[in-house]
Structure 1
Amino acid sequence: MAIFPEENDFLSLLDNTSKDLPFYYNKATYRFSNGEEDFIVTLSPSYGEVEIQVTQCVSNRLLSLLDLKRVDKFEIITDKKDHSSAQLTVVNEDTQQMIEINFKPYFKQTFKEHFTW
């Protein structure tokens, strides 16, 4: 079973959810900006799906698109006014992939893969 933060951990970023379903079974979209980049984060916790789109504010140029279908764990690492980051974990048969994303003060994405045997 996938591990995702609770709904209230995302309230400051909340953009659109269906009130008919609990957060875990819902599809939620969060839109926010750090002043340099705009972010659209779409979560479907019950399916383990996470999509993160990053565009440059001034030009609207796509900088990154991360579209994952089997996220085992989504952790909020830091959630402060001037610094925020998250880590996604995908476990495969013999590897574990960890993607750390810094949202503030600027966008940075780090991808690491480790053998699990």
Structure 2
Amino acid sequence: MQGYPEEKDLRSLFECEPTLLDSTEKDVPFFYNEATFQFSNQEEDFIVIISPAYRRVKIQVTHRPSTEVTTLLDLKRVDHFEIIADTRNHSSVLLRSVDDDYTQTIEIDFKPMFKLMIKDHSTN
């Protein structure tokens, strides 16, 4: 899977089974499907939707005590999705979008608590 982790690696990272959009067709490879992962940490609930073939990643974070959506990322052009950490107490990913003039990186920690860092880097 070019630029994205394998399904088994994402299951390990998010510690849950995905709900697949096209679950009726057994022959649809994960890369061409849309997978929804729902999981929680101590304070937040997450919904992560990944469509590798379309380069789409959507992440919704809800603060559990208040049920308020605190973060919504709906990215339509993620060229690279890398798992940085996948341990019992720490999980994080790096998303990268590359253009002729710049590269945008988004680093996201899911555990122990949610953290988001967005950076643009000039390629010139």
Q: TM-score range by the shorter chain?
A: over 0.9
What does residue range 1-117 of structure 1 map to in structure 2 within 5 Å?
3-11=3-11, 12-17=15-20, 18=23, 20=25, 21-117=28-124
Give the aligned length.
117
Q: Secondary structure at the match of 1:46?
A: helix
CA distance in 1, matches of 2:73, 2:6: 21
Q: Note the alpha carbon deviations across 1:41-83, whole angstroms, 9 max, x for none.
A: 0000000000000010111101100000010000010011110
The question of whether the paired residues in 2 share the 8 Å contact of 1:73 and 1:90 is answered with yes
Query: 1 CA distance for matches of 2:71 and 2:40?
Result: 14
Residues 24 and 107 of structure 1: CA distance in aligned 2, closer, same or farther (over 3 Å): same
Asked if the contact 1:14–1:28 (Cα under 8 Å) also holds between the matched residues in 2, the reply is no
Report the TM-score when normalising by structure 2: 0.89
**Take 1:2 and 1:65, find their aligned partners in 2: how far apart are those partners?**
25
Identity, in percent, stands at 52
| 1:35 match: secondary structure | coil
Distance 1:97 1:37 in 2: 25
RMSD: 1.4
CA distance in 2, matches of 1:2, 1:64: 27
Q: Which runs of 5+ in 1 are unaligned?
A: none
**Length-normalised TM-score, structure 1:** 0.95
